[in-house]
Chain A
């Protein structure tokens, strides 16, 4: 069982819909991450939150809006997505936002945009 929980596991939405992806960890980690992974490609970093503050935004389009309500939760709000946004969205956490610490990944949300 993964220690990082992502919901939902699968999501199908139309281009005009608004939905949210959720991620939760109870390991006391202070850094949380969103990655996007397309088929046969590596995970690509989207956002990093460190101590509940957004520390890295990898030039992600504004139709993706992250939110960190507290140190255990990370959301990704989706609005007006495009078909090319269909991918696996992975959440991860680490003790602190330092890249020499292993990240613990959730199992991802597989998103399909119609």
Chain B
């Protein structure tokens, strides 16, 4: 079965600093990987996803993630943090279930951005 581990339940950065949120996965087959963001009182929103092909994936709001098979990682980065990036971020992997797929989520990392 697939699983996801997010290192660090809380990350704090200064506005303008690099954002790095870590994610490692466990999968017996080539994985489909996702990053979702959850703003307060809002539903989860897809930031980006890796399926096949280019291992560096660009998403919305300036975020990107790199799939590294050798490290079983899919870390999320953004060169310069903005106050509006403060939210909860979830790494996820697809897992086969009953003729379709379900999403397995990590525990989440809350990003704080300091002025």
Instruction: Answer yes or no: do A and B interact.
Output: no
